[in-house]
């Protein structure tokens, strides 16, 4: 990491990896086999994921702001470099996730410090849910505004900027299929027939 930061290659290498990922299929030979193109696109995506994860783990050793400071802005990635919204949000995913999740405080012994002043977890009184407005994290509202600008119209109509930003602020381990439940339900339905 020291060599990357000393030579100021952290961001140029990230931009090169994202550019290669975006243009892999477009820059390939016309007669290239589809299986080859798929493998090439998968390899580029994997390298991009690994590099983003490497930067996240190395630059966030002190705080997430180090990672955020190292990145080009979302607007710059969209306007100047003309990256797809998915690539822009993939690069910024760790920052978006950190803005929503409260930071864990680690003690000197390496253990998570629990706040003793938290209010006890009591169930609220039932309220008519239709009367309460939906709550969206205020920290993501500027990102939603930017997503409204950069998303294609069809995407805005289909999923909307709020859903798009919500998806990209999730960590990859948050997005999973509940295999056990799916298998149980499939077995149950098969028994009914």
**pLDDT, one tens digit for every residue, the chain (193 residues):** 778 777 888 888 888 998 898 888 888 788 888 899 899 999 999 999 999 888 888 877 666 777 888 888 888 888 888 888 888 888 888 888 888 876 555 566 656 555 544 444 444 445 555 555 556 778 888 889 989 988 889 988 999 999 999 888 887 677 777 788 889 999 999 998 7
Report d(CA 149, CA 157) in Å as an integer: 13
Asked, for residue 169, whether it belongs to a domain, the answer is yes
Same structural domain, 36 and 14: yes
CB 21 within 8 A of CB 44: yes
Same structural domain, 11 and 92: no
**What's residue 121's pLDDT?**
41
**What's residue 119's pLDDT?**
42
Structural domains counted in the chain = 2
**What's residue 120's pLDDT?**
41
**What's residue 117's pLDDT?**
47
CB 92 within 8 A of CB 140: no
Same structural domain, 12 and 96: no
- Structural domain including 147 reads 82-101+138-193
Report d(CA 21, CA 113) in Å as an integer: 40
Please report, for residues 6, 8, 71, 142, the alpha-carbon distance to residue 61 in angstroms, rounded to integers and kept in the order given.
17, 19, 16, 26
CB 70 within 8 A of CB 10: yes
Same structural domain, 54 and 86: no
**What's residue 123's pLDDT?**
42
Same structural domain, 91 and 166: yes
Asked, for residue 180, whether it belongs to a domain, the answer is yes
Reported for 64-72, long-range contacts at CB under 8 A and 24+ positions apart, including other chains, are 64/94, 64/95, 64/98, 64/103, 67/94, 67/95, 68/95, 70/10, 70/11, 71/11, 71/14, 71/95, 72/11, 72/15
Report d(CA 146, CA 165) in Å as an integer: 10
Same structural domain, 91 and 63: no
* Global confidence as pTM: 0.67
Tell me how far apart the 2 most distant CA atoms of the chain are, in Å: 65
Asked, for residue 152, whether it belongs to a domain, the answer is yes
Asked, for residue 189, whether it belongs to a domain, the answer is yes
Same structural domain, 67 and 86: no
- The distance in angstroms from the start CA to the end CA of the chain is 58
**What's residue 118's pLDDT?**
42
Same structural domain, 176 and 94: yes
Same structural domain, 33 and 59: yes
CA 155, 96, 65, 59: dihedral to nearest 10 degrees? Answer: -90
Asked, for residue 122, whether it belongs to a domain, the answer is no
Same structural domain, 89 and 56: no
């Amino acid at each position: 990491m020291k060599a990357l930061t000393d030579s100021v290659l952290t961001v140029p290498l990230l931009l090169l990896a994202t550019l290669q990922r975006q243009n892999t299929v477009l820059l390939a030979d016309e007669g290239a086999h589809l299986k080859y193109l798929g493998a090439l696109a998968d390899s580029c995506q994997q390298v991009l994921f690994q590099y983003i994860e490497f930067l996240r783990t190395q630059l966030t050793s002190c705080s997430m702001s180090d990672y955020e400071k190292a990145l080009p802005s979302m607007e710059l990635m969209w306007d100047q470099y003309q990256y797809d919204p998915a690539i822009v949000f993939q690069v910024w995913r760790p920052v978006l996730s950190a803005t929503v999740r409260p930071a864990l405080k680690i003690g000197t012994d390496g253990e998570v410090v629990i706040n003793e002043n938290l209010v006890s977890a009591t169930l609220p009184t039932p309220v008519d849910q239709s009367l309460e407005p939906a709550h969206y994290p205020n920290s993501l509202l500027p990102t939603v505004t930017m997503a409204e600008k950069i998303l294609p119209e069809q995407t805005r109509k289909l999923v909307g900027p709020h859903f798009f930003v919500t998806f990209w602020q999730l960590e990859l381990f948050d997005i999973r299929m509940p295999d056990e439940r799916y298998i149980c339900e499939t077995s149950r339905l098969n028994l009914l027939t």
